[in-house]
Structure 1
Amino acid sequence: RLDALAAAWREPSAWQGTTVAGGVTMPAQMMGVVALDELLIHGWDLARATGQPYDCDARSAEAIIGWLSAFPDEQRPDGAFGPMVSVPDDAPPLDRAVALSGRDPKWQA
């Protein structure tokens, strides 16, 4: 299923117009970032929980930082993210993305 998801988002037309997922309609470009966020952050979760390395390119992590930054702690939908975790300004993009999602980048299982 992940291969099919990745293949679908490779098509330039997938990023145009609006789309529906889980009963939510939003601009396709935003939905693509949401899908990337789900894969990247939950991939990190699984890797950390099972003690495995997690390789994420900086470009992918940077792509979701804007999305995650759009939700200050006081405006976060219930259960969507935990409170932001503080990291240095020069932290790697993956650490910044993970911290914005409410996870501690230094956490180990």
Structure 2
Amino acid sequence: MTETLIRLTTARCRIDRLDAADAPALAAITDASVTEQVHFLPTPFTESDARALIARSGGDDVFHAVREGAALIGVIGVHRRGRDHEVGYWFAAAARGRGLAREAVAAVVRDLA
């Protein structure tokens, strides 16, 4: 499944590809509260790091944008592990506590099933 991009819409979110133009917003939402939890992200996570993550997305490791309206509010990574998938995610501090991550991740998991 990770060879193709997931494009989904939920009641409040749109899940699609991360684009090079997302690099500034991605850097802005990936603060220390995220990088302390996601082992492969450097601290601080810069716009250059964001561009590199977007550029390497594909194949067995695809990173998807989660948008609320036009705003980038989170990232969902889908990673192929043999015949299985691993799903990871992070969301902007301002997007937490409203059930958006649960809604978006649940949609991705359903799509993978």
Scaled by the length of structure 1, what TM-score is found? Answer: 0.29
Whose strand proportion is higher, 1 or 2? 2
Q: Larger relative CO (CA 8 A, sep 6+): 1 or 2?
A: 2
The TM-score, its normalising length taken from structure 2, stands at 0.29
Higher helix share: 1
Question: Highest CA radius of gyration, 1 or 2?
Answer: 1
